[in-house]
Amino acid sequence: MTNTKKIVLITGANKGIGLATAGVLARDGHAVLLGARDPERGAAAAAGLSEQGLDARFVRLDVTDPATITAAAELIDAEYGRLDVLVNNAAITRDRSRPPGEMPVAALREVYETNVFGVVAVTNAMLPLLRRSPSGYIGNVSSGLGTVAFLSDPDENLAQYANLLGYNSSKAALNAVTLIYANALRDSGIRVNALSPGFCATDLNGHTGVLTADEGGAHIARQLARPESGAFLNENGGTYPW
pTM above 0.85, yes or no: yes
pLDDT value, residue 213: 82
pLDDT value, residue 96: 78
Q: What average pLDDT score do residues 70-86 get?
A: 98
Q: What is the CATH number of domain 7-233?
A: 3.40.50.720
The model's confidence at residue 143, banded by pLDDT at 50, 70 and 90, is very high
- Identified catalytic residue from 6, 137, 161, 167: 167
User: Residue ranges of the alpha helices (H) in the chain?
Assistant: 16-27, 39-50, 66-79, 105-112, 118-130, 148-152, 165-184, 213-223
Higher pLDDT, 140 or 1: 140
**Domain boundaries in the chain?**
7-233
pLDDT tens digits along 189-239? 999 999 999 876 665 656 566 578 889 899 999 999 999 999 999 998 999
pLDDT value, residue 198: 82
Q: Give the total residue count for the chain.
A: 242
pLDDT tens digits along 12-61? 999 999 999 999 999 999 999 999 999 999 999 999 999 999 999 999 99
pLDDT tens digits along 96-124? 778 999 999 999 999 999 999 999 999 99
Residues whose CB is less than 8 angstroms from the CB of residue 43 and which lie 6 or more positions away in sequence, other chains included: 58
Nearest 5°: the CA angle 144, 148, 149 is: 75
The model's confidence at residue 128, banded by pLDDT at 50, 70 and 90, is very high
Q: Would residue 5 show up in a list of annotated catalytic residues for this protein?
A: no
pLDDT value, residue 26: 98
**Residue 16: which region, alpha, beta or left (left: phi > 0; alpha: psi -120 to 50)?**
left
Distances (CA, A) of 178 to 10, 37, 132, 138: 16, 23, 20, 9
pLDDT value, residue 210: 57
- Identified catalytic residue from 6, 161, 171, 240: 171
Q: Would residue 171 show up in a list of annotated catalytic residues for this protein?
A: yes
pLDDT value, residue 3: 63
The model's confidence at residue 183, banded by pLDDT at 50, 70 and 90, is very high
The model's confidence at residue 157, banded by pLDDT at 50, 70 and 90, is confident
